[in-house]
A and B are shown apart, each in its own frame.
Chain A
Amino acid sequence: MQKKYSSLISELREKLKDCNTAHDIANIKSEYLGKNGYITNEFSKLRNAQESEKKKLGKELNILKSQAHDIILNTNIINNKTEERFVDVTLPGKNAFVGSRHPISITISEITKILESHGFTPVTGIEVENEYYNFEALNIPESHPSRDMHDTFYVLEDKLLRTHTSSVQIHTMLNQSAPLKIMTPGKVYRCDSDPTHSPMFHQIEGLYIDKGINFCHLKGTLIAFIDEYFGKKMEIRFRPSYFPFTEPSAEIDIRFKGKWLEVLGCGMVHHNVLENVNINPKQFSGFAFGLGIERLAMLKYGITDLRMFFENDISFLSQFERAE
């Protein structure tokens, strides 16, 4: 290598020693490697060099360039260290956004994930429903006392706000053939309002129709679901109940702080319901279940007043930032 090139390197090293800031280093970099820097200019001089020298010089210049480059780069690191400055790392991060999902949405999403792992496909449907799909198709005739369990909002003579998501199950069974395995999350409405009842609330229902489905399958699926949702083996009570669309019908209670709490209604799909949707009950059987989302969310998060869910107070909502 030419002498002037090697002295150039030591010169560069000396200069870098005097640098105090990153800015100083940048200046030196441009002095050597910049558009009008020393090494860059040496390259332009190549054009005037003798043909025989050109190749050799070019090679040397390239080595010089990469050497200088490396030295500057390394200096950079060393010098950054010498330049250590105090930063208050406890100051707030810039644009730290903390949003939240609604506890109802979190609960729905947790439930649907578990049910999906059991093969239930999510289906949604309309909320303003014909009376037939909400009641008659589900074996709830007009004169039946069980209609008292459903205080219904009407918007037209025969149009109502669905009182459960079972209407979606009816539509799905009519549109698809058995076997099927679905779940129906969504909003439902009943004329009721107090700390434990809301005129609008959320439900998720499940339906499984197949050949040879029996009561033990119902029990197995739901117990597995409850244990998975609560993340541990729960003390569960399974007791007879009544729903017009299932027979036998059952309710599941869980033991919570020493008390039995009802969490889920279920049963084997009533033959009348199957016949209403053109499924032959001699060939297929199935089970259905339904649960109130608010209730589960209240249990899980220790919320005591149902109305909190729909006040939309940020102080309430922001508590669920990472609940999922």
Chain B
Amino acid sequence: MKISGNWLKEFIPNIKINEKLTYNLTSLGLEVSSVVKHKGDLIIDIDMTPNRADCLSMLGIARDLSAVYNKKIIFPKIANIKVTPSKKFINKIDKKICGSYGALVLHGVDNTIKTPNIITQRLNKCGISKVNFIVDILNYVMIEVGQPMHAFDLDKINRLINVRYAKANEKINALDGVKYTLNKNIPVITDDNKIQAIAGIIGGDYSSINLKTQNVIIESAFFTPTVIRKAAKLFRLQTDASYRFERGVDPRLNNIAAGRVLYLMKKYSNVKNYQYNLTTNKELIKKHNHVINVKYNFFDESLGVQISRNFIKKTFKLLGFNPISYNDKIRLTIPSHRFDIKIEQDLVEEIARVYGYDNFEPVLPHNIFKINKDPSIFSENIINGLVSRGFNEIISFSFLPKNSQLSTNNISDIIKIKNPISEDKSELRASMVHSMIRAYKYNVSRQNANIKIFEIGKIYNFVKSKKIKENNILSGIISGINAENNLKSDQENLSFLDLKGHLQSIIPNIIFKPYKNIKHLNKFCQATLYQGKHTIGYCGEISQELYSEYGIKNNLYYFEIFTDSINNAIDTKYKKFSIYPKIKRDLTILVDDKIYVQDIIDIIGEKSFNYMINSKISDIFYNKKEFGDNIKSITLEFIFQDCNSTLTDNTVNTEMDKILNLIKKHFNAQVRT
């Protein structure tokens, strides 16, 4: 809300319009977002928080300032307005919509007269342009005291005013040139014939004021905030009126505002006589004046400093709470303009902000708390491991474009956003693979094809009848060459084994088992990952389908780890090791290419040969001419060692013979010589 500094002087005489003023406003919670100098005045723009509806006027802001400047405010002059006994203009008012309806009727107004400069200039500073005399006066009073009002051309009103909810499909052509189709949630002002306004939001075009208007009904009413809010939200319509009504306009203000309008009309135009009709729900008004009794020391306990009783009492007096001290308590009557004050705690803020938040001493609490690690917060070791192996961490949107996951997920598992911000962000990711491929593709388009990236994030799925499951995932993708900065002779294209190497280096005790059933991976190049007996993820080359869906030409290797399943706590125990010499033996055999080397090593391992402490593959070799199709030559390396003495060749030879027989038997292997 924009206000004029000089205008404040009418409420607080001699207030200095300077930097101290803007500091005080912000310090009161009326945050100054900008200050513009304008012909000896300051135009101050205030970001109003939604709880401070009472400060959407010069009066409200001045009232808050009065507590800091310790000066009573001067109220604008109002005409003594009397309610006309006969209700000539108001018929039925729906109490749920409207707690008080005042109708100020003026005859023979000359609406062609020029609005006084002081009014148009002030309105202009507050960002409101001039319209015509009557409307300008109403806008002026709205900015001045905070009461939105609406004027109807009396000659266009057929008999009596009603306030009710619209019926389905009733329509109104509003002042903004839009034709609104209404429904039963929209409050309206009607006469006997038609809908004349959407209550508290916008007037109708038909009965609007123009230069020819002579006779007017000026509506000064209290509308229920929730009703106005619901309707305004439905039409996505925010007017100066709806903005104030939905936040809460003082229900006692409408008569005062009508009096102020009458005063200004009399002062600036030929208006002499008036009629004023009023329908008020007295109970509602009473509800807006509840009483709270607070112990003085509640303020001290909440704020952590001793605050003098005088200060508390004086502050509440200036803010209009009518304080009365008794014993160790203060009795406060909540003014009807303070919709935001409901409980004791709300009163503490009043004192704190007038005292000045900057004036409280910072104090560190010194109770000691034990830190409990959330198990779902992922191990920094694994992340740092990836980073030191050259991976870049990415963060992608949890959203993906419409129907972009059909190749990888069941449509019924995918969670769609009901009100997406755009089509390319309209569903939640059900796996990480698309996020990864998209990030890869984006970088390729930026001439960066050597990619090693990872992300830690969630995937979201529907499981069984609209139940939602979120899983924490670490996933990554690699493509291109091993190390860009290596000399050409040391560069190699990345392969599945590079991916495997990375994972083996960063995840303790990881085991890879061949697998075929993950749809979005190449079925000849995929593995599930285990730690002990627990599945912790999978990895492999992406499927042909994904390659062609994304038009990717390079090989992409993907991994996905279920971070909640990972066990980082390794139970380390020292094992005694032998100090006697090791004997190393190699064995080269020819086997079918489809045989997994791990199977050979596992079978040897199960048999537990004497003195054999380790076995591994050391080389692999293909030679179609010599071995034939689909045959590979593998060299296995075995290490033998005894705990108590030096082994002899004979002993080892015996074991090696046994191993060879076993391999021959199980894998139809031939010894290569």
Contacts and interface: CB of A to CB of B under 8 A. Distances in A.
Interface in B99-134: none
A101 B393 contact: yes
B390 A97 contact: yes
Contacts of B383: 101, 105
A231 interface: no
A238 B302 CA distance: 17
Interface in B356-405: 357-358, 360-365, 367-374, 376-377, 380, 383, 386-399
A199 B399 contact: yes
A87 interface: no
Contacts of B420: 153
B26 A315 contact: no
Contacts of B376: 124
Interface stretch (A10-18, A63-71, A114-122): A114-122
A98 B364 CA distance: 40
Q: How large is the interface on B (under 10, 10 to 19, 20 to 34, 35 or more residues)?
A: 35 or more
Nearest to A152: B419
Contacts of B348: 247-248, 268
A99 B486 contact: no
A200 B397 contact: yes
A197 to B, nearest CB: 10
B304 to A, nearest CB: 3
Given A199-B421, A312-B453, A124 B374 contact: yes
A155 B426 CA distance: 10
Contacts of A122: 373-374, 377
Nearest to A117: B371
Interface stretch (B441-449, B532-540, B541-549, B618-626): B441-449
Nearest to A249: B349
Contacts, number: 243
A146 B470 contact: no
A102 interface: yes
A116 B380 CA distance: 15
Contacts of A312: 394-396, 439, 442-443, 453
Interface stretch (A26-34, A209-217, A298-306): A209-217
Given A122-B374, A155-B418, A220-B364, A317 B394 contact: yes
Nearest to B25: A239
B417 interface: yes
B153 interface: no
Interface in A188-206: 189, 191-193, 199-200
Contacts of B349: 240, 247-249
Interface string B233-262: 000000000000011000000000000000
Interface in A86-124: 91-102, 104-105, 109, 116, 119-124
Contacts of A189: 398
Contact of A216 (B29, B360, B367): B360
Q: Which among A93, A242, A281 has the greatest number of chain B C-beta atoms within 10 A? A: A242
Given A124-B376, A240-B349, A313-B442, 9 more contacts: A91-B487, A99-B452, A119-B369, A208-B365, A215-B302, A220-B362, A242-B49, A271-B344, A310-B395
Interface of B: 26-29, 31, 49-52, 225-226, 229-230, 246-247, 301-305, 340, 343-346, 348-349, 352-353, 357-358, 360-365, 367-374, 376-377, 380, 383, 386-399, 415-422, 425, 428, 439, 442-443, 446, 448, 451-453, 456-458, 460, 466, 468, 470, 482-483, 485-487, 490
- 4 closest Cβ pairs, A-B complex: A97-B390, A240-B29, A216-B304, A119-B369
8 contacts: A99-B393, A143-B226, A154-B418, A239-B27, A239-B358, A240-B357, A270-B345, A313-B443
Interface of A: 91-102, 104-105, 109, 116, 119-124, 126-128, 143-146, 148-149, 153-156, 159, 161, 179, 181, 187, 189, 191-193, 199-200, 208, 210, 212-217, 219-221, 223-224, 237-242, 247-251, 268, 270-272, 281, 285, 309-315, 317-318
